[in-house]
Amino acid sequence: MTRTRTSATFPPPVMEARRWLEGVDFPENRSLINVSQAAPVDPPPLALRQAMADFAVNTDAAHLYGPVLGNPDLREALATQISQHYDAEVQPSQVAITSGCNQAFAAAISALTDEGDEVILPTPWYFNHKMWLDMAGVTAVDLQTNDDLLPDPDAARALITDRTRAISLVTPNNPGGVEYPSDLVQAFYDLARETGIRLLVDETYRDFDSRSGPPHRLFSQPDWDKTLVHLYSFSKAYRLTGHRVGAIATSPDLLAEIEKFLDTVAICPGQMGQFAALWGMQNLSQWVAGERDEILDRRVAIQEMLPRLTSKGWRLLGLGAYFAYLEHPFDMPSDVLAQKLVSEAGILLLPGTMFMPDTDPAGKQQVRVAFANLDRAGLAQLFDRLEALTF
């Protein structure tokens, strides 16, 4: 096969894992436990769905093109929300709306890099970030983390070359779940500013951070937008995954370059999703707080049940937001284990090999559990099945 942009990377991991379900029957007493994808399976709350229906029926603009960088009212509301959340001052001109956070990343990378450039990614990485870099002809430089899954700024400094254009962080982390300490994020910002590169910070799971107050102070730095490219998603907070609404906060100059990418890919974000995101910010703050409390309670439940697995040789590496990242005790690669779990335990999860380069053996001992759609009873069932494994 002729090498193409898409052939430069691997198949979409979640879709690959779903193919493992083909031909497998799950008995009623052991239905499938799907912890493979970090996305709500429930629809938005009824009040939001009713508002969206009214918008679709009564507002002609719901069905028309809008501004490439997003609707002004949503940009203004998000700038205000960021300012309040991070105790800073962010202007609407520093904010753009995208068709999901993956598009925000792709647009930012397209505006910052040329073919052959480099971007530093801590491992385990979010696979869609790695996929886009592959398809863009940009080299992903692996920044290995230790058992705490926290990247080291000094190790990152040693990886910077004259082709490095950015460092990309995800906090709370996907796939590891860990929340990066404020001083660690600040150290990466200082490194990026000193070396003249950009720092991308993806905070898709910001709304489920266990900490109170600003998780970092980057938006308070002088001329923050010359270094920081902040990525966000409305999908998790308001269950809008199918409507694809994300955002970027950075300098107006960089947004002007990003606009070129967005215009040629999607022209504008969907009107329905933008309306829903705005309505959610205006009306659902208490509901989101309740969703956060529920996720944090599930995190506590995992901590309470964890001894059942550690006694069997499992080890927890990271826990937070939607994810538990574990080291398994079995004498087989995690991609083999993950496929066996489907038929033999009724569990669909993702192996660490999907978040690591082939050259890093650590991925073969790791798995990711996306627990956001399991209540305490569901988590107990998951732990029952994992504890009973005898491979």
Q: Which of 3.40.1260.10, 3.90.1150.10, 3.90.190.20, 3.40.980.10 is the CATH number of 6-43+287-387?
A: 3.90.1150.10
Beta carbons of 131 and 110 less than 8 angstroms apart: no
What pLDDT shows up at residue 209?
96
Measuring CA to CA, how many Å separate 64 from each of 75, 212, 259, 261, 268?
18, 39, 18, 20, 10
- Same CATH topology for 6-43+287-387 and 64-284: the answer is no
How far apart (Å, rounded) are the C-alpha atoms in residues 157 and 265?
A: 34
The pLDDT profile of the chain, 391 residues, written as one tens digit per residue, is: 688 999 999 999 999 999 999 989 999 889 999 999 887 888 999 999 999 999 999 999 999 999 999 999 999 999 999 999 999 999 999 999 999 999 999 999 999 999 999 999 999 999 999 999 999 999 999 999 988 999 999 999 999 999 999 999 999 999 999 999 999 999 999 999 999 999 999 999 999 999 999 999 999 999 999 999 999 999 999 999 999 999 999 999 999 999 999 999 999 999 999 999 999 999 999 999 999 999 999 999 999 999 999 999 999 999 999 999 999 999 999 999 999 999 999 999 999 999 999 999 999 999 999 999 899 999 999 999 999 999 8
Beta carbons of 188 and 122 less than 8 angstroms apart: no
Q: Are strands 118-123 and 33-34 parallel, antiparallel or unpaired?
A: unpaired
What pLDDT shows up at residue 1?
66
What pLDDT shows up at residue 164?
98
How far apart (Å, rounded) are the C-alpha atoms in residues 207 and 237?
A: 6
Question: pTM for the whole thing?
Answer: 0.95
Beta carbons of 233 and 246 less than 8 angstroms apart: yes
What pLDDT shows up at residue 89?
96
Q: Which of 1.20.1260.10, 3.40.50.300, 3.40.50.620, 3.40.640.10 is the CATH number of 64-284?
A: 3.40.640.10
What pLDDT shows up at residue 129?
98
* Per-domain residue ranges of the chain: 6-43+287-387, 64-284
